[in-house]
Amino acid sequence: MEDKHTNEILAELISSEEGLTQTNLDEIRREISLKASLYSGIGIKILSVTGGLLAVVSFMAFLFSTEILQSGFVMIFLGVFMITASLALNKAVKNLTFDTVVISANITGYILLGMGISKMTHSDNLVALVMLFVATVTFVVSEGYMLNFIAVLVFNGCLFSFITINDAPYFMFLLTGFLAVVYTSLHLQEAYWIAKSRKFNVLYNPVRTGFLLSVIAYLVALTTNWLFDGHSSFPMLSSVILILSCMFVVYKAIKYTGIRSKINRFMIYALVVLPLLPTLFYPAIAGAVLVILICFYTGHRNSAVLGGLALAYVLIMYYYNLEYTLLVKSIILFVSGLLFLLIWTVFKKQVKAV
């Protein structure tokens, strides 16, 4: 059975909640014991994903060596069949044993469907649109962790591909801002989402993880030079959205920690906003800071570390792309470093005084 700590918390929750039936209680106990076993462990996930990807590679190699891929229609048919089969199998068998089959069928399905439509219509936009639709259908019909996780990546990947297909790089900034706002709301309104319905509750974790990876991928994409051609207002707008989101997270955190002094509140806001102001034309930095702040606030420490790595990467790219001499760069870096250390000592004194 579960450990003592878990049992205590569970007893506490049960006593605080009225109207729980015995069936509900049994279900809760069953899921908790599944959670405690290897079922949701990272080891099984890595194994099934590695197996799934290897199987996709060899199955695609098989399809390429046959005549099947000559026909767009056959590819579409096979793709739809694979995706449907993966959804059906995942629904029918509530057992991680078949995860590898489900993952490989699902990914192969997306690839075949995309290739088939591309071959028949030569329209990349249509491919992205159909993929978007399939991902949406997955959210509606499936409760599987991996399927929904893949669907989030496909969904956000399709939005990105609209930008590259139609050569509209400036939209990238708006889209990143939009995704970051959605991601922020996922974190800050966790309680709302998981209480909304069983469906939203089950989808919460894969969607959050999928969004984390998508937002970080978008931020990394924002550091590439091809985006910055003439449209200086778009990066600014994106930065403003991201900085406002950061401030909103800080607002929530301040409310929660109960800091009353107006000066302290003002100083905390200034601490977040002022260092970000010089990066207004480079939104990736504000985005990475946002990821760190929300993940730390809501207790997703591993995600916060990922955000930290993203911040390190975008900062390096920022200084690398900055068109100043090394001397100016060194002065900017050194002065910022001294400023941070100065704020640090002031902060330490302030904390001691309280």
Per CB under 8 A, contacts with other proteins among 136-175 are: none
Q: 35 to 54, contacts with other proteins by CB under 8 A?
A: 35-39, 43-44, 46-48, 50-52, 54
Residue closer to other proteins, measured from CB, 111 or 159? 111
Residue closer to other proteins, measured from CB, 64 or 167? 64
For residues 237 and 171, what is the distance between their CA atoms, to the nearest angstrom? Answer: 11
Determine the residue type at 197.
Answer: S
Tokens of 219: 């931020």
Q: 112 to 131, contacts with other proteins by CB under 8 A?
A: none
Establish if 28 lies at the interface with other proteins (CB under 8 A): yes
For residues 79 and 131, what is the distance between their CA atoms, to the nearest angstrom? Answer: 11
Establish if 15 lies at the interface with other proteins (CB under 8 A): no
Cα–Cα nearest to 294, from 280, 310, 314: 310
Establish if 332 lies at the interface with other proteins (CB under 8 A): yes
**Part in contact with other proteins (CB under 8 A); list of ranges 156-164, 219-227, 230-238, 291-299:** 291-299
**Total residues interacting with other proteins, rule: CB under 8 A:** 92
For the CB of residue 272, give the shortest distance to other proteins in the complex, in Å: 10
Pick the binder of other proteins from 11, 277, 305, 338 (CB under 8 A): 338
User: How far does Cα 213 stand from its chain's mean position?
Assistant: 4
Residue closer to other proteins, measured from CB, 19 or 230? 19
Pick the binder of other proteins from 13, 270, 274, 277 (CB under 8 A): 13
For the CB of residue 98, give the shortest distance to other proteins in the complex, in Å: 6
Residue closer to other proteins, measured from CB, 106 or 156? 106
Residue 228's alpha-carbon distances to 222, 225, 312, 317, 325, in angstroms, are 9, 6, 21, 14, 20
Establish if 260 lies at the interface with other proteins (CB under 8 A): no
Q: Write phi, then psi, for 230 (nearest 5 degrees).
A: 85, -25
Establish if 264 lies at the interface with other proteins (CB under 8 A): no
Exposure string over 165-180, b if 16+ CB within 10 A, otherwise e: eeeebbbbbebbbebb
For the CB of residue 191, give the shortest distance to other proteins in the complex, in Å: 4
For residues 180 and 173, what is the distance between their CA atoms, to the nearest angstrom? Answer: 11
Residue closer to other proteins, measured from CB, 91 or 231? 91
Establish if 253 lies at the interface with other proteins (CB under 8 A): yes
Establish if 352 lies at the interface with other proteins (CB under 8 A): no
Cα–Cα nearest to 311, from 339, 282, 331: 282
Tokens of 161: 């591909």
Pick the binder of other proteins from 277, 299, 305, 349 (CB under 8 A): 299
Pick the binder of other proteins from 86, 104, 106, 142 (CB under 8 A): 104
Pick the binder of other proteins from 248, 296, 313, 318 (CB under 8 A): 296
Tokens of 235: 């990066």
Which residues lie below 8 Å from residue 313, measured CB to CB, with a gap of 6+?
Answer: 220, 223
For the CB of residue 324, give the shortest distance to other proteins in the complex, in Å: 10
**Part in contact with other proteins (CB under 8 A); list of ranges 9-17, 74-82, 124-132, 209-217:** 9-17
Q: 173 to 232, contacts with other proteins by CB under 8 A?
A: 189-192, 194-195, 198, 201-202, 204-205
Pick the binder of other proteins from 298, 303, 310, 314 (CB under 8 A): 298
Alpha-carbon dihedral of residues 235, 283, 272, 320, nearest 10 degrees?
-120
Exposure string over 73-108, b if 16+ CB within 10 A, otherwise e: ebbbebbbebbebbbebbeeeeebebbbbbbbbbbb
Cα–Cα nearest to 161, from 137, 128, 136: 128
